[in-house]
Structure 1
């Protein structure tokens, strides 16, 4: 495939394209490094003001939700509201919409993702979004993928920040060229998803050993699309730099934590792109908005997990983590 040939061309010249990360070595992180990265995150967060109007802090869309999976889009959509977006839209199938609406009146739910004639309606709504999270609860129905392709093409034409998670990552393994060179995208694969995506792009399975380097290689082969390789440590790379999300979390692995991650990442991505030309923060200028958003969401999700586990232990669920978003945000990012 074309992407695989491109990947081998890029990797053959990898030493020419890669630069040493500014200030930090990706293999070690110190307390002072955490302070610098914390300052980077604080630099992207818009201050609250009585003069703001609804929507100014973000109209974020979640594309996902089918008959079988209604929890994932809810977790992503409610998380981005709790982090600080003003409006949260969910684009889902007709069968999923009543269930998702019943979870919360805070969400704006559009039951159009499985309509055969949804192209114009989807495009009209995407024009109003500041960022999109694609994949939570999407499922793998090829009919849905046709409309997801419409969403993805419209979003990239409009330069929207994107977070692509879960079945959205699977969707990209079918045609990685859809996201090629789109540097406003963040992909958040777990271990099996990373393996499939790496194989689809590179034409071979990822090597065992240096996970940071293989994450960097995949990002570079995709044209510097940011990868968040989820695991015991979140490996974050844009093909040029690597950051490690290794804040303390918890040993609990209940379903839905990745949806909190992707939802919060969507609003952080919107904020980070807005802040890029409005702040002199050196780390943001070097790492860029997608890396800043990914690091912020990774750190916040881990802190929510830590706090929720402290209170609930083995019975902790993602709903308990969502309840901790405010306290975690204040602890991590307040001046």
Structure 2
């Protein structure tokens, strides 16, 4: 379906649709109904990234957040928070077999935060995604960021026409590398991306693919309806601290699950203009930018991703529960 409204009308429609996917906090809910998110990532060098992603998913409102990581990263990630369920199995010789039983319990997989570029680990992750592709009962919607994008750049077929839907969240440099690999285009890395370039990459990767190009304005394009390209330019700041993209990926994991469900509130008039992946992506971009804006207002140049975590609740309440 095509949306022909102007930018302001599109963003107003999107915000209304974002609000419809937020589940009500009712007494009859049981643990897991609001989402069980899995993060595949972490390495000896990068333990913060999977933490920021997994804890952001929880703070947005999912019920359980799992991290699948190598053995040497697990104790550090565990030490950051007792809220996370940490599985130190990603570098085991039988990692795929160890992870398989957990897949039916998860609603969305976030692939890449802090993953590193170890070829053995990347092969294992590729095997997990291939298993999900071949076994429909195990297939999960995917959010791919950071070193997960490196994996896709090296082998785009790993997500090509992935059946359950996949959202990629590249920054400017990651996008330019993907464009070269997938489209053989030498597009310059820029924080002000061309929406048609973002659309072209999404279409090339298959009908279930959405691309979120992070930048001065976040540009979201999907191939799921062939037409949707939207921008999120509200909020944000000039402070680009490490971990901000992980806050986005974790938030997106929770929103993606919520968007895949039938809305629990009455939809706005004309609901259905945007696919679930676009609604989820817009919600996550808007929330992350608002968290950044609020954190920078307090800490300025000293703002860190940990400061942004503290802003998730007030930002969420202001954007989606008014």
TM-score (norm 2): 0.92
**Worse overlay, 276-285 or 59-68:** 276-285
CA RMSD in angstroms, aligned pairs only: 1.9
Query: C-alpha separation between the residues in 1 aligned to 2:81 and 2:239?
Result: 25
Q: Does 1:154 find its partner at 2:138?
A: no
Residue 262 of structure 2 corresponds to: 275
Deviation at 1:257, TM superposition (A): 0.2
Deviation at 1:223, TM superposition (A): 1.2
Change (3 A) 1:320 1:278: closer
Q: Aligned match of 1:177 in 157, 161, 171?
A: 157
Q: Aligned match of 2:13 in 17, 23, 36?
A: 36
Residue 309 of structure 2 corresponds to: 322
Counterpart secondary structure, 2:272:
helix
Q: Does 1:201 find its partner at 2:182?
A: yes
Q: Which runs of 5+ in 1 are unaligned?
A: 1-18
Counterpart secondary structure, 1:244:
strand
Deviation at 1:121, TM superposition (A): 1.1
Higher percent of residues as helix: 1
Query: C-alpha separation between the residues in 1 aligned to 2:165 and 2:120?
Result: 26
User: Where do 1:108-127 residues align within 5 Å?
Assistant: 108-127=85-104
Q: Does 1:75 find its partner at 2:52?
A: yes
Provide Cα deviations, 1:125-181, integer angstroms capped at 9, x if missing partner: 122101011000000000001210122123443342210000001101111112112
Change (3 A) 1:58 1:186: same
Kept in 2, the 8 Å contact 1:176–1:201? The answer is yes
Change (3 A) 1:190 1:174: same
Counterpart secondary structure, 1:275:
coil
Query: C-alpha separation between the residues in 1 aligned to 2:304 and 2:96?
Result: 36
Counterpart secondary structure, 1:170:
helix
User: Where do 1:237-316 residues align within 5 Å?
Assistant: 237-239=221-223, 240-275=227-262, 280-281=267-268, 285-316=272-303
Q: Does 1:94 find its partner at 2:74?
A: no
Query: C-alpha separation between the residues in 1 aligned to 2:187 and 2:264?
Result: 36
Deviation at 1:278, TM superposition (A): 8.2
**Worse overlay, 159-168 or 316-325:** 159-168
Q: Which runs of 5+ in 2 are unaligned?
A: none
Query: C-alpha separation between the residues in 2 aligned to 1:168 and 1:231?
Result: 19
Deviation at 1:285, TM superposition (A): 1.7
Query: C-alpha separation between the residues in 2 aligned to 1:210 and 1:327?
Result: 30
Deviation at 1:282, TM superposition (A): 5.8
Query: C-alpha separation between the residues in 2 aligned to 1:179 and 1:56?
Result: 27
TM-score (norm 1): 0.89
Change (3 A) 1:324 1:219: same
Counterpart secondary structure, 1:151:
helix
